[in-house]
Amino acid sequence: MVYVDDAEVQKHGYIWFHLIADSIQELHEFAAKMGLPAYAFHRGARHPHYDVTGAQRLRALQFGAAAISARDAVRIGRKINVSSLDINVSSTQLCLFT
């Protein structure tokens, strides 16, 4: 399952949310289906996710992502086992959350 939270983090003039999934493969496949750029993946984050704008959040919901709270996003993210081999995205990244 893929989820998008309600974090509403304000940064760089936008409001941002987190796109997460039950597995890293499912997350990357969903993001690709949505047309999200690889740099939107928050590489090196404690919990694997894509940073998405409000418009992208709405699109994710239209594509079938479930709306969840930011607290639930952290809970789900903790369950994902990520190894360096699982992350196959561009090394160029815009880091929005620290």
User: Does 71 map to a domain?
Assistant: yes
Number of domains, the chain: 1
Global pTM value: 0.80
User: Does 54 map to a domain?
Assistant: yes
> Helices (DSSP H) in 1-98: which residue ranges?
24-34, 54-62, 70-78
Average pLDDT value for the chain: 85
Angle between helices 24-34 and 54-62 (to 10 degrees): 100
- What pLDDT score was predicted for residue 36? 95
64-78 pLDDT, tens per residue? 999 999 999 999 988
The Cα–Cα gap between 31 and 60 comes to 8
**Domain extent for 19:** 2-78
Q: What is the mean pLDDT of residues 43-55?
A: 90
